[in-house]
Amino acid sequence: MKTVEGLKYSKEHEWVKVDGNKAYIGITDHAQNSLGEIVFVELPETGAELNSGDVLGVVESVKAASDVYTPVSGVVAEVNEELEESPEKINEAPYESWIAVLELSDLSELDKLLDAGEYEKYCKEEA
Amino acid sequence: MKKKDKSLIFEMSVPGRKAVTLPDCDVPYTDISNLIPGKFIRETEAELPEVSEVDAVRHYTRLSQMNYGVDSGFYPLGSCTMKYNPKVNEDMANLDGFAKVHPYQPEETVQGCLELLYETDRMLSEITGMDRVSLQPAAGAHGEMTGLMIIKAYHENRGDFKRKKIIVPDSAHGTNPASAAITGFDVSEVKSDERGGVDIEALKSLMNDEVAGLMLTNPNTLGLFEENIVKIAEVVHAAGGLLYYDGANANAIVGISRPGDMGFDVVHLNLHKTFSTPHGGGGPGSGPVGVKKDLIPFLPEPVIEKNESGYYLDYNRPLSIGKVRSFYGNFGVVVKAYAYICSLGANGFKDVAQTSVLNANYIMHKLKEYYKLPYDRICMHEVVFSGQKQKDMGASTLDIAKRLLDYGYHPPTIYFPLIVKEALMIEPTETESKETLDEFIDAMIKISEEIKEEPEKVKGAPYTTSVLRLDEAKAARDPKLIHTQ
Amino acid sequence: MSAYIPNTASQKHKMLSEIGVASVDDLFSDIPESVRLKRKLDLPEAKPEMELVRHMSQMARKNCNTDEYTCFLGAGAYDHYIPSVVRHIISRQEFYTAYTPYQPEISQGTLQAIFEYQTMICRLTGMDVSNASMYDGASALAEAASMACSVTRRKEVLIPECVHPEYREVLSTYARFAGYKVVVSSIKDGRTDINDIESKISDDTAAVIIQNPNFFGAIEDIEEMEEIAHKNKSLVIACCDPISLAILKSPGEAGADIAVGEGQSLGNPLSYGGPYLGFFAAKKELMRKMPGRIVGETVDREGKRGFVLTLQTREQHIRREKATSNICSNQSLNALSAAVYLTVMGKKGLKEVALLSAQKAHYAYEQLIKTGLFEPAFNMPFFREFVLRYKYDVAELNKKLIEKKIIGGYELGKTYPDLKDGWLLAVTEKRTREDIDRLVREVVSL
């Protein structure tokens, strides 16, 4: 499994890339790998106000559907519409295929997330 | 270049061709525009096929040849009870006096239909140990929904509105939680213990005055009987909950033990499983719901009753949950089940259960040195193996299933129950002979050997079917659900 | 021993000894003693096939059937002609003894037939996508209402009183437990009162339901309703008769979002109310919210066209409590009957069936009015079914007609107290002029 240094990770296998008060959110390589070929992504509506732990979207393979939870709170500023046409991008490049951008309302939430090393360790323990 | 595939009925159409000649109009003809205002008339014609009768017959015959039914061969699909469907039952359902009867005919003209429904209710009540059975639900999932509605209505009628939770085991069919959700319940999962049954302590910790009931399949989806069923019933009842029996696996216990005697309050059966009615490629089924006395007032309406002048439909049921389907259910399916029950009679059911359990244990015994057996104990009517050993050698349970197609079998249920990795769930039923079981066992052993020697071969299976492995990801990514010119 | 159990006593014995148990009872040792049945089931003794056939044929003869009686009863189930081909095809064991097509490589027959069925339903209804069918028309309507609530996140559906009473009842049952509200709107001259719809529609209205032709046989104005509903961001659910769709404006043309209906009249026998099938079709945007099984086209490893069950993540076996519905089957064989029926009737034939039914219904209507014993209940265009008000007692009339081997119309007083003299008659293409003239003669002679 791959991780990228500098990103934040959640125990539900989402990654967060922080850019000022904006956060790009996607699912990790580990998550896409265990789902298999991704066939559909349900995106949130822009403008939606989400608390950390709320459902951000749904990622589906042929035989599984997995809710994606936002690890941080904020307002959905942008969604990655490209994934509607090409959901397989998540398989091909999980760390480039963000699902949505949130305008963060509480930067301190980021401190609770894992860094790449911690996340890798967590995945190993989980297995 | 490959010849273009023109096998869809629409691709065979020739304008002007037809398969049916209708009689001429024998009443004075009025132009449709004088009968119905133009704004209600279709703008474009519905592009239905235009083929001859022989085109149609050959088309559907060809399609049928790409299918596999119980009459084609062994169909050990776990949890689905693919037993033989007796031919005479089909004839009975096709009798003019059953097939050509309108549901709103006056009661005095349908006494035979009502008698059949009434008697089926009575006989299924006896088989399950319940007091009354409704034949209205059209399928197992529909029965679950109906049963849960009855449970909710019962609690609410007692003035108890806080019971919003239904408990299901982690080994349950996906329909259980889905049925609970659509009837407005929250779902809690209770885990299984190391022997594959409900973890009693975990159950106790979940029970409280918010629990409406527990849904249980018994034998469960691992093919194991809940040894602690008496205790489970006590725990649930003590906390004021009701016990729901999912009849998916009733074939193992008919004539031997009755859900009503085990403490269940509501039961659904699948006539298309235990009672031999054919599955029809995915339906029609029938999912009768049986209840204990206190719950009878909540059954869907109408209920068939009998008085001195004969059978009648009773709609005067103020506490009824209402109707869950139009008319009285899948009557034609009930006719087949009635015929089956009459054919088996008082002694036949016990023989069904015993032989189905014997057949499953025989397969378990013969295959357990080749495939991992996660719960090594006597099973009931089905046995759940894990393909983990084979997966480690490079071929998954899916590959095993596909390879079985080349050997001429319908594969077992795979990847279910969810709590067994690489699950292979085999249900032989009582209608298969020892010779058939032995041949199937040989095929399973051969496949396990193939996986040791050439896993790639198994991974490429099937080789002999009308199509090879299909691209399901493509189908889901870019859904093409109808044919377009 | 049952004829359906092939293993002999000696084979069973051999199997038991291989397993290593002394008797079959040992295999049931997990069942606690206290819950075992210690007696024989209280059922009649087993009947050999010959006796079974005699017994059940006697039972069947206690019913009046539509071959021996002339049927003018409709009200949601119709006596249309079923071409011989239909029964022959659906009696092929490869179709009727198969299970759900979970193994597509050996289920292409069922899968392709359903794909073709979905296509035909879409062409009839003018919709983009169809599922593989549901239990019946009533439950399909209830599922459509649930779907509309989930899509719009609203909690109310609006339904006029002229929708089939049983459909409204099934809808109410589903709604009560799923937690949404059914608001009933009134009728005006046998049709939906559009003013009442306008006054009852609100921000809570997820969908407006319309049946066409409605329970009284009258043709509704879907377009008028569509305008009001869509202005309010509510969906339109059209519950349609499939035979009528050969000539009537399709729900798609009229702007509906979801089309459902009872598919019985497409090649399925009356069979005392079932098994039938409910068809369910929708606009493309709603595809992923649809309940039930759906078949899609794809290719196999070598690029050959094939069919699979698809969009399965909507369904209960994957999504469990988050599924769009709990349904996990379809009325597959009935959908096959519908597909075969639509194939052999074809583009021209279905239209002829619809036109013949309409002609004959209008002839019957006029002849009955001419007797002076009836008055039209409404002044509305109809298709193959209509309501007359009878001067005397409708139940009595039906009773006397049965003696003359005629199954009369539906007594509307049963479900509409204001129409206790109302008689709902259906006339299909199967009724000859002589059948109709005889009905008129008998009515007059009573």
Integer Cα distance of C94 and C99 in angstroms: 10
The residues in B 116-135 lying below 8 A from C, measured between CB atoms, are: 116, 123, 126-127, 129
Parallel, antiparallel, or unpaired: how do β-strands B165-169 and B211-217 relate?
parallel
Domains of chain B, start order:
9-64 (no CATH), 88-344 (3.40.640.10), 347-459 (3.90.1150.10)
Q: Please indicate whether, in this complex, the C-beta atoms of C61 and B138 are within 8 angstroms of each other.
A: no
pLDDT of C365-375, one tens digit each? 999 999 999 99
| Helix then strand then coil, % of chain C, to nearest 5 | 45, 15, 35
Integer Cα distance of B437 and B428 in angstroms: 8
Which pLDDT score is estimated for C116? 98
pLDDT of B140-155, one tens digit each? 999 999 999 999 999 9
By CB atoms closer than 10 A (0-12, 13-18, 19+), residue B485 is: exposed
What is the nearest CA distance from B26 to chain A, expressed in angstroms?
55
Structure tokens at C60: 């069947």
Residue C318 has pLDDT above 90, yes or no: no
A107 touches chain B (CB under 8 A): no
The single-letter code of the amino acid at B355 is T
A61 touches chain B (CB under 8 A): yes
Integer Cα distance of C109 and C94 in angstroms: 8
Q: Please indicate whether, in this complex, the C-beta atoms of B342 and C333 are within 8 angstroms of each other.
A: no
* H/E run at residue A66: strand A65-69
pLDDT band at C1 (very low <50, low <70, confident <90, very high): low
What are the residues whose beta carbons fall under 8 Å from the beta carbon of C244, sequence distance 6 or more? C212, C213, C354, C383, C384
A48 touches chain B (CB under 8 A): no
Q: Which chains touch A (3 or more CB pairs under 8 A)?
A: B, C
What is the nearest CA distance from A66 to chain C, expressed in angstroms?
9
* H/E run at residue B34: helix B32-35
Residue B190 has pLDDT above 50, yes or no: yes
Are B273 and B250 in contact, with CB atoms under 8 Å apart? yes
Task: Collect all residues of chain B within an 8 Å Cβ-Cβ radius of residue C298.
Answer: 470-472, 474-475, 480
Structure tokens at A39: 């066939």
What DSSP string runs through C239-262? EE-TTGGGTBPPTTTTT-SEEEEE
Domains of chain C, start order:
70-81+347-445 (3.90.1150.10), 84-340 (3.40.640.10)
Mean pLDDT computed over A54-71: 91
What is the nearest CA distance from C81 to chain A, expressed in angstroms?
41
What is the nearest CA distance from B415 to chain A, expressed in angstroms?
11
CA atoms within a 13 Å half-sphere pointing along the CA-CB vector of C122: 22
Structure tokens at C199: 């006054």
What is the nearest CA distance from C86 to chain B, expressed in angstroms?
9
Integer Cα distance of C118 and B10 in angstroms: 12
Which pLDDT score is estimated for C319? 76
Give the closest residue to B324 by CA, choosing from A107, C213, C139.
C139
- Count of A–C CB contacts within 8 Å? 16
Task: Collect all residues of chain C within an 8 Å Cβ-Cβ radius of residue A41.
Answer: none
Which pLDDT score is estimated for A90? 96
Q: Which of A42, A60, A66 to mutate to test the interface with C (most CBs of C within 10 A)?
A: A60
Integer Cα distance of B162 and B140 in angstroms: 27
Integer Cα distance of C73 and C410 in angstroms: 6
Task: Collect all residues of chain C within an 8 Å Cβ-Cβ radius of residue A42.
Answer: 288
Mean pLDDT computed over A118-126: 92
Which pLDDT score is estimated for B427? 98
Answer positive or negative: Cα dihedral of B247, B250, B255, B260.
Answer: negative
pLDDT of B237-266, one tens digit each? 999 999 999 999 999 999 999 999 999 999
Are B165 and B203 in contact, with CB atoms under 8 Å apart? no
Which pLDDT score is estimated for C317? 76
B457 touches chain C (CB under 8 A): no
Task: Collect all residues of chain A within an 8 Å Cβ-Cβ radius of residue B476.
Answer: 39-40, 60, 62
Which pLDDT score is estimated for C256? 98
Integer Cα distance of C342 and C344 in angstroms: 6
**How many other C-beta atoms are found inside a 10 Å radius of the C-beta of residue B462?**
20
Give the closest residue to C295 by CA, choosing from C132, C434, C139.
C132
By CB atoms closer than 10 A (0-12, 13-18, 19+), residue B134 is: buried
| C-alpha triplet B15, B18, B23: angle, nearest 5° | 135
Integer Cα distance of C7 and B431 in angstroms: 8
pLDDT band at C192 (very low <50, low <70, confident <90, very high): very high
Q: Please indicate whether, in this complex, the C-beta atoms of B477 and A60 are within 8 angstroms of each other.
A: no
Residue C285 has pLDDT above 80, yes or no: yes
The proportion of chain A whose per-residue pLDDT surpasses 90, expressed as a percent, equals 87
Task: Collect all residues of chain C within an 8 Å Cβ-Cβ radius of residue B129.
Answer: 37
| The CA-based dihedral angle spanning residues B413, B419, B423, B425, taken in that order and rounded to the nearest 10 degrees | -40
pLDDT of C425-436, one tens digit each? 999 999 999 999
Are C207 and C230 in contact, with CB atoms under 8 Å apart? no
Which pLDDT score is estimated for B1? 43
Task: Collect all residues of chain B within an 8 Å Cβ-Cβ radius of residue A39.
Answer: 473, 476-477
Integer Cα distance of C377 and C385 in angstroms: 12
Residue of C nearest to B352 (CA): C5
Mean pLDDT computed over C391-406: 97
Are B9 and B51 in contact, with CB atoms under 8 Å apart? yes
Structure tokens at B324: 């869950």
A87 touches chain B (CB under 8 A): yes
pLDDT band at C397 (very low <50, low <70, confident <90, very high): very high
| C-alpha triplet A85, A89, A90: angle, nearest 5° | 115
A40 touches chain C (CB under 8 A): yes
Protein fold of A8-119: OB fold (Dihydrolipoamide Acetyltransferase, E2P) (2.40.50)
| DSSP helix/strand/coil, A85 | helix
pLDDT of B112-146, one tens digit each? 999 999 999 999 999 999 999 999 999 999 999 99
What is the nearest CA distance from A39 to chain C, expressed in angstroms?
9
